[in-house]
Amino acid sequence: MVISCLKDLRLFALCAEPVLSTGFCLTSRACPCLQSLSLPTAPVVTSRALAWLMDTNRGLPAIESHRDLHIWITENLKMVPVPERAYGNFFEEHCYIVLHVPQSLKATSGAPKDLHYWVGKEAGVEAQGTAGSFVQHLQEALGGATVQHREAQGHESACFRSYFRPGIIYRKGGLASALKHVETNVYNIQRLLHIRAGKHVSASEVELSWHSFNKSDIFLLDLGKMLIQWNGPKTSTAEKARGLALTRSLQDRERGGRAQIGVVDDETEATDLMQIMEAVLGCRVGNLHTAMPSKSTDQLQKANVRLYHVYEKGKDVVIQELSTCPLAQDLLQEEDCYILDQGGFKIYVWQGRMTSLQEKKAAFSRALGFIQAKGYPSYTNVEVVDEGAESAAFKQLFRSWSGEQRKNKHLRGTGKLLQVKLDVGKLHSHSELAAQLRMVDDGSGKVEVWYIQDSRRQPVNPMHHGQLCAGNCYLVLYTYQKMGLDQYILYLWQGLQATAHEIKALKGNAEELDLQYHGALVQEHVTMGSEPPHFLAIFQGQLVIFQGSTGHNGKGQPESATRLFHVRGTDSYNTWTLEVPARASALNSNDIFLLATAGLCYLWFGKGCSGDQREMARTVVTVISRKDKEMVLEGQEPPHFWEALGGRAPYPSSKRLPEDVSDFQPRLFECSIQTGPLVLTEVVFFSQEDLDKYDVMLLDTWEEIFLWLGAAASEWKQEAVAWGREYLKTHPAGRSLATPIVLVKQGHEPPTFTGWFHAWDPYKWTNNQSYEEVVEGGLGAVSAIAERTASYLSDSDFQDIFGKSKEEFYSMAKWRQQQQKKQLGFF
C-alpha cells in the first residue's frame, strides 16, 4: 500500500512545534530546522575529526582515545563532558550524548560505533535542541560506520543499558551549577532509591516515605555513611544479588568505600536495621502493595516485522509497505531509505550509501513522524543505520545477511572444513578458533553410542557406530581431554521419523546419564540433517543415515532391496551419507550416489563432483554394501542402472551455487518467564561478567543456540531447551527449527562456547561467593551499624525522639549518651 504522509500518516507538523523528545522538527523538506551538516563516509575517527572536536569555539570537547565510552550532558546550551566516576548517573531535567567507540580488536571486527541521544523525562525543549545539534556535529566528525540511537528515560535500548554494568541511576531535578555529577565522600545525604533489578539494573530517586515501597522490588535507603538495602519479600535471589552489586558500587564510587551496608531480607530478623529505617521514614502504617509488573515485549511481538520504502513524491513523503518477515536483504537498495518496524518495539531507519543528503538529514524526523502516525508510545526506541554499519540486531531481522568481510574470512562451506589438518592443541589454546569452527577437537576422542528402544537406552556395537536410522533416536557420548581433565559432550540425535514417545524417552535417558556424570555433560540436541561439524568428525566421514528403524540392533541392513544413498562431503570432517528414495529424480550432478542392488553396488559420479568427493565415497561404500562395486560416470550408465531406479527421469544438473555465508554476530540474552510468556533481555558487548550463577542465558551464534545454566538455576534445566526452540520458532528471520541447541552448565563450558567471549577465565567461579555468603560475612556487623543510628536522624526527628537537640545530646557524658540510646531501643 502507498500512504501519503501529508494525509494518512501525518508525518509533518508546524515548524514551531517541538515533536516528542528529540529537538528535531517534523516539517517539510524546505524547513530550515532540518538543515544540518552533511554526513561524510570516512570509516574511522580521523585526526582531522579529532582536532575539529577539540576546537573550543565549537563547544565540543576532545575524545580521549584510550576510552571506550564518552558521555556529555547539556548545560546552559552547551555540551559538557561527564566525569568517568559519574557514568551511569542521569539527571531527569537534562539530555545526554553517549558515544561508544569499541577499542579491542575483537569488538571492532566489523562493529560500528554507537552514538546515543538520551532524553530525560523532564528535559526542556532547549536542552533537547542543543543535544540534537551536537549529535549532528558529532556524527559529521565521526564519519561513517556509526549507528545513531534515540533513547528515552526508562525505555533505553539493550545496547545503551549494556554500557552500565552495575546499573543506571535516575536522579531528580537538574545538575547543580558546579557541574558535579557525583561528590565523593559527602555524607549529609538522605534519599531513597527504588531499584528494579532485572538483567539491566536501574534505580530511581523516589519520595522518602514508606508509601514508595512495594513487595516486589528493592529499595535502598541512602543515609550517607550508611546504606540499607531493603529487599521486597517477592524479590528473587538474583534480583537481590544485582541490587547489592549496585549498592556496593555506590559505596565504592560515592563514599570512597567508607559507608557501611546493611541488608534487610527478613524484617523480623533485621530488627536493628528496621529501627533505623523507621527512625528516618516513620512507623509504617498498613500493608505494602504488590507492584504492577513492568510491561515487557514478548518474542511474538518482536517477530512482527514490516519493511517500508520511504521516498519523496512531489512535496509529499510516501511510505510504502514492501514486505513482512522473513525479510530478504536484497529488498534494500543502496540509493533508497527504508523504515523497519519491529512490532512497535523498535523502529529502524536504514539509509543506503547512495541516499541523498536531504534524506539522511530527515532520518530521525521521519522515524518520529512514523511513530506518531502509528500511535506508538513516544518513547519508542529509534535506531538509524547506514549501509555497511548495520547493528547485529538489525541484521538478524533478515533471513540472511552477506558481508564482504565475513565472506573473505569464513572457514566453512561446501568444501573442506579446514584447508589444513586440525591441531587439537591449537583448538584448546585458542577457544575463539574452536567456536568459529564449532570443533572442540579433531573427533579422535572416545565414542559411546546408545539407541532408544522400549524407553530404555541400548548400547550399539562399536562396529556399527555411525550407522543411524531415521526412525530412531540415539545418545552419542563423546569424551575428550582438556588440561588433563575429562570433558564430555552428549549428543541427543533425533531422527526425522522418530515418534514423540521415543523423543521423550531420549531426553529422559539423557538426564539419567547426566546424573551418572554428576552434571558434567554438555548436552547438544541434534536433528537429523542438521548435524554440527564435530558430530560428523567423530564418525570420521562414515556417518550413514538409513531410512526406517531397522539396523540399530547390529544386524545390518537388508541387502535384497534396491537402495540409493546420497554422499556429500570432501573429507572426514564434513562427510555424511543419507538414504534417499531409489528413483532417478533423486540424483544430482554435483554429488555422488551409491546404488545398492541385490547383486551389485554402483558408485555413480556426477559430472560436478570433485576428486575429494570420490575418495570419501570409496570409504563409505564398504558401510553400505559388501557386494561387488562398479564405478559409473554420469552419462555412461548401463541399462541395468536405470532399471534398478525404475527408469530415467529428470534430476538437478545445474552447477550448485556457493552456500550463502551470513554475516551474523553472536548475541547474548537473559531468559525470563516471571511475568508470563518468555521474555529475552539482550546484553550487548557481552563478556563472561554477564554470566551470573542465577541466570539462564541464551547465546545465539546463528548456527547453534547455546543455553547456559548458572549454578543456582538448575531448576530451569527442563525448560531451557524448550525456550531455545521457542526462540527459533518466533525469530523474525524464519530460523530453522532444526538448528542445534546446546545445554551448557556453569563450570562445564566447552571451547565452542567460551570462544565467543573475550578473555574467558576458567577459574573465575572457583572462589566466587554467593549472595548469602556476601550478606552474612562481607558487610560488617549489624550491631555496629545500629549503634550509630542517631547520627542519621534529621534535627526535628532527633528532637522528637530524644527530647533535646543534637548539640545538647552530644555535650553529655559518653556513658549517659549510651544509656539513653539503650533506653530508647537503639541497640
Tens of pLDDT, residue by residue over 252-272, are 888 888 889 999 999 999 888
Q: Which of the listed CATH numbers 3.10.20.310, 1.20.1250.20, 3.40.20.10, 3.40.30.10 matches domain 69-169? A: 3.40.20.10
pLDDT the model gives residue 655: 86
pLDDT the model gives residue 778: 60
Q: Which amino acid is at 504?
A: K
Q: For the domain covering 425-539+670-754, report its CATH number.
A: 3.40.20.10
Please check whether the two domains, 558-652 and 782-824, share a CATH topology: no
Q: Report the half-sphere exposure of 1 (CA within 13 A, side-chain side).
A: 7
pLDDT the model gives residue 187: 67
Residues of the chain predicted below pLDDT 50: 1-61, 65-66, 105-109, 177-179, 405-420, 554, 556-557, 783, 827
pLDDT the model gives residue 176: 63
Flag whether the pTM goes above 0.95. no
User: Which residues make beta-bridge pairs with 705?
Assistant: 700, 741
8 A C-beta contact, residue 272 and residue 785: yes
- Whether the ω angle into residue 81 lies within 30 degrees of 0, i.e. cis, is no
Is residue 188 exposed (0-12), middle (13-18) or buried (19+ Cβ within 10 Å)? exposed
Return the residue matching grid coordinates 551496608: 261
Task: Specify the 3-state DSSP secondary structure of 573.
Answer: coil
Query: Residues near 421 by Cβ (< 8 Å), separated by ≥ 6?
Result: none
Return the residue matching grid coordinates 531527569: 92
In 3D space, the residue among 609, 604, 576, 603 whose CA is nearest the CA of residue 590 turns out to be: 609
CATH architecture of 299-403: 3-Layer(aba) Sandwich (3.40)
* 543-546 sheet: strands from edge to edge: 467-469, 543-546, 576-580, 563-568, 592-596, 600-605, 628-633
CA dihedral for 752, 757, 763, 766, sign (positive or negative) = negative
CATH class of the domain at 782-824: mainly alpha
- Identify each DSSP E strand in 387-472 by its residue range: 446-453, 456-459, 467-469
Using alpha carbons, list the distances in angstroms from residue 48 to 51, 55, 63, 467: 5, 11, 12, 64
Cα 585 to Cα 598: distance, rounded to the nearest angstrom: 21
Q: How does DSSP classify residue 590?
A: T
Q: Name the CATH topology of 558-652.
A: Severin (3.40.20)
Where do the domains of the chain lie?
69-169, 189-281, 299-403, 425-539+670-754, 558-652, 782-824
The CATH superfamily assigned to 189-281 is Severin (3.40.20.10)
pLDDT the model gives residue 550: 66
In 3D space, the residue among 71, 53, 80, 225 whose CA is nearest the CA of residue 137 turns out to be: 53
